[in-house]
């Protein structure tokens, strides 16, 4: 639990600390909040009164176990909502989430590459309206929309720059934030999909109490969302965490980014599928032999591996071992406590990767005898990207962060 400060000028920071304590503590009392955060009883009491007035929290029952009965505090269900949209190569997926991390609506739409950026934003605007209508929520309680997508991008301005592999030339310098806000009349926040997933992991209950961790987000591409000292680390141009383009071998295979031997070229879902197809073409035995080559996709390979197919398993394990190498490099550089594995691919093949990454960290990390780095699968599962995008909105408004108090004014 992080500590608050009693300085009157950082009242909003303390409010964020108390709200977080209530969210994480679910049923926590004012006395416990004061104990856990280091804030005075009076400060906690004042802030809780304000949170009750703003209908962000509720008093929900009494804990009779102490010397004096203590009123339990919880986030008010349905008090505020955010929509999160993840843009990936083949589809956009959206969730409607409340302040407590509860998902009350989902929608996904297929992306047609020909429709271009503006067409995809039209789709997201439509899906936003339909989600709000279907869930029958009060639209005034919807705070905004978070958008997660692969970079490079300018997070502050919400502009996407040439995600080379994903969309092609017609996505160059797209003002995602401005263009979507214009369509829906709500604040929009844009972030790298991996960073969004890391923020979301925290919001829905994972990585609790871990100051330094990385969220490895693996879907079509590969990236890392990094938390340093309890805050997302975005770097100087807001593009930190491009793990997929860490060089593993300068003479390695050509990557779409123009360099050779990027980590992604060894472990991406595309590489796994291509490797399996190639081996089948060469006549190797597998339970996948009878499936036409063009119908073999990642889901088929993963299912075969989990059902005991050794060829499919070998390729997944190779990918996992290579990813583990990249993760060791990152953990060596950043000194992390936890690695979270998430994204569409991890939702299916996560256990295989978890085993390989754990083993590699235990055996090879320089600091292995000092502290064990934990490896966990994302608690958000298949929704991780969209949940993360929704959490961006909540995080910007409610999470305690001294340096970004001014961001609240955008909403």
State the minimum distance, in angstroms, from the CB of residue 249 to Zn ion: 12
State the minimum distance, in angstroms, from the CB of residue 216 to Zn ion: 16
- How many chain residues touch Zn ion (CB under 5 A)? 5
Cα dihedral value 229, 362, 224, 275, nearest 10: 180
Q: Hey, what are 57's tokens?
A: 């929290």
394: Cα within 13 Å, side-chain hemisphere: 31
User: Is the CB of residue 220 less than 8 Å from the CB of residue 251?
Assistant: no
* Dist. CA 316–CA 244, nearest whole Å: 16
The binder of Zn ion chosen from 142, 255, 323, 394 (CB under 5 A): 255
The binder of Zn ion chosen from 262, 273, 390, 399 (CB under 5 A): 262
Is 206 or 343 the residue whose CB approaches Zn ion more closely? 343
Instruction: Give pairs for 108-117: CB < 8 Å, separation 24+.
Output: 111/87, 113/89, 113/167, 113/168, 116/170, 116/171, 117/160, 117/167, 117/170, 117/171, 117/174, 117/176, 117/179
State the minimum distance, in angstroms, from the CB of residue 247 to Zn ion: 8
220 binds Zn ion (CB under 5 A): no
Residues counted in the chain: 411
Is 211 or 260 the residue whose CB approaches Zn ion more closely? 260
State the minimum distance, in angstroms, from the CB of residue 222 to Zn ion: 10
* Dist. CA 275–CA 305, nearest whole Å: 14
257 binds Zn ion (CB under 5 A): yes
- Single out the segment in contact with Zn ion by CB under 5 A; choices: 120-128, 156-164, 259-267, 366-374: 259-267
- Single out the segment in contact with Zn ion by CB under 5 A; choices: 26-34, 156-164, 253-261, 337-345: 253-261
Where b means 16+ CB within 10 Å and e means fewer, 181-190 reads bebbebbbbb
State the minimum distance, in angstroms, from the CB of residue 92 to Zn ion: 24
Considering only CA atoms, which of 201, 257, 256 is closest in space to residue 225?
A: 201
The binder of Zn ion chosen from 183, 202, 245, 345 (CB under 5 A): 245
Is 165 or 358 the residue whose CB approaches Zn ion more closely? 165
- Single out the segment in contact with Zn ion by CB under 5 A; choices: 32-40, 249-257, 288-296, 378-386: 249-257
State the minimum distance, in angstroms, from the CB of residue 359 to Zn ion: 26
- Single out the segment in contact with Zn ion by CB under 5 A; choices: 28-36, 262-270, 290-298, 368-376: 262-270
As beta bridge partners, residue 342 has 217
State the minimum distance, in angstroms, from the CB of residue 256 to Zn ion: 6
**Tokens 């990813």 label which residue?**
323
* Dist. CA 210–CA 338, nearest whole Å: 7
Q: What CA–CA distances, in Å, run from 173 to 28, 110, 159, 263?
A: 46, 22, 6, 26
- Single out the segment in contact with Zn ion by CB under 5 A; choices: 77-85, 185-193, 240-248, 352-360: 240-248
Is 266 or 398 the residue whose CB approaches Zn ion more closely? 266
Cα dihedral value 284, 287, 293, 297, nearest 10: -120
125 binds Zn ion (CB under 5 A): no
User: Is the CB of residue 247 less than 8 Å from the CB of residue 257?
Assistant: no
State the minimum distance, in angstroms, from the CB of residue 218 to Zn ion: 15
Q: Which of residues 174-213 bind Zn ion (CB under 5 A)?
A: none
Binding region for Zn ion (CB under 5 A): 245, 255, 257, 259, 262
């Amino acid at each position: 639990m992080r500590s608050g400060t009693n300085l009157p000028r950082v009242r909003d920071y303390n409010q964020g600390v108390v709200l977080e304590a209530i969210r994480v503590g679910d049923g926590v009392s004012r006395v416990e909040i004061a104990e856990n955060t280091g804030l005075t009883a009076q400060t906690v009491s004042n802030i809780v009164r304000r949170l009750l007035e703003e209908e962000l929290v509720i008093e929900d029952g009494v804990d009779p176990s102490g010397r004096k009965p203590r009123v339990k505090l919880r986030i008010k269900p349905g008090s505020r909502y955010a929509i999160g949209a993840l843009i990936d190569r083949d589809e956009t997926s959206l969730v409607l989430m409340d302040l407590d991390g509860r998902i009350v609506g989902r929608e996904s739409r297929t992306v047609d590459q020909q429709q271009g950026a503006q067409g995809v934003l039209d789709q997201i605007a439509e899906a936003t309206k339909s989600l709000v209508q279907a869930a029958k929520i009060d639209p005034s309680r919807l705070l905004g929309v978070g958008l997660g997508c692969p970079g490079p991008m300018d997070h502050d301005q919400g502009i996407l720059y040439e995600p080379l592999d994903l969309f092609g030339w017609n996505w160059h310098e797209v003002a995602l934030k401005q263009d979507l806000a214009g369509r829906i009349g709500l604040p929009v926040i844009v972030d790298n999909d991996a960073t969004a997933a890391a923020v979301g992991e925290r919001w829905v209950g994972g990585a609790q109490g871990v100051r330094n961790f990385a969220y490895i987000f693996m879907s079509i591409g590969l990236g890392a969302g990094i938390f340093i000292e309890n805050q997302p680390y975005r770097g100087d141009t807001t593009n930190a965490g491009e793990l997929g383009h860490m060089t593993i071998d300068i003479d390695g295979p050509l990557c779409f980014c123009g360099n050779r031997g990027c980590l992604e070229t060894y472990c991406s879902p595309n590489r796994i599928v291509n490797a399996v197809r190639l081996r089948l073409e060469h006549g190797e035995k597998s339970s996948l032999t009878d499936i036409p080559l063009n119908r073999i996709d990642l889901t088929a390979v993963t299912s075969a591996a989990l059902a005991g197919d050794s060829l499919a398993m070998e390729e997944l394990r190779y990918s996992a071992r290579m990813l583990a190498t990249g993760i060791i490099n990152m953990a060596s550089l950043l000194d992390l406590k936890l690695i979270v594995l998430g994204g569409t691919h991890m939702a299916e093949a996560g256990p295989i990767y978890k085993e390989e990454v754990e083993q590699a960290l235990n055996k090879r990390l320089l600091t292995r005898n000092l502290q064990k780095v934990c490896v966990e699968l994302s608690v958000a599962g298949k929704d991780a990207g969209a949940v993360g995008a929704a959490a961006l909105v909540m995080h910007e408004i409610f999470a305690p962060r001294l340096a970004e108090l001014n961001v609240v004014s955008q909403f």
